[in-house]
Amino acid sequence: MTTFNVPTREEVSASSQAAFDTLQKGLGMVPNLYAAIAYSENGLSRYLAFQTAKTSLSNKEKEAAMNYLHNITEVPIDFQTFA
C-alpha cells in the first residue's frame, strides 16, 4: 500500500488555508481527503464550492447519495452541509 503525507494548514496555499479554517470551524476537523485535495492550490476551495452548489436533487436524494458514498468510503459525512 502506498502512503502519502497529509498536509497541515501551514503547508497549503492561502486559499486552502481559508478552506481549512472553514472546515475546522464547521466540522471541528479537516478530513484527510479534503487536506489531500488542498495540495492543489485552488482545489479544495473549488471542490467545496462544487459540493455546495445548487442542484436539481431534492434533500432526500442528496441524503441518499451521501449515505451511499459514506457506505462505500466509510468517511463521516455531515448532512447539515447538504441541507
Largest CA distance in the chain: 39
Residues 65 and 77 in one domain: yes
| Number of domains comprising the chain | 2
pLDDT of res. 82: 46
pLDDT of res. 77: 54
Residues 61 and 48 in one domain: no
Residues 15 and 45 in one domain: yes
Could you give the CA distance from residue 45 to residue 77 in angstroms, rounded to a whole number?
18
Domain ranges, residue 15: 1-52
**pTM for the full predicted model:** 0.63
Residues 67 and 46 in one domain: no
Residues 46 and 58 in one domain: no
Could you give the CA distance from residue 10 to residue 13 in angstroms, rounded to a whole number?
8
Residues 3 and 38 in one domain: yes
Question: Among positive and negative, which fits the CA dihedral 75, 28, 38, 58?
Answer: positive
- Confidence bin at 83 (pLDDT 50/70/90): very low
pLDDT, tens digit, 9 for 90 and up, residues 34-45: 999 999 999 999
In the predicted structure, residue 74 carries a pLDDT above the cut 70? no
Indicate the length of the chain as a whole number: 83
Could you give the CA distance from residue 36 to residue 3 in angstroms, rounded to a whole number?
12
Residues 33 and 63 in one domain: no
Cell 475546522 identifies what position? 24
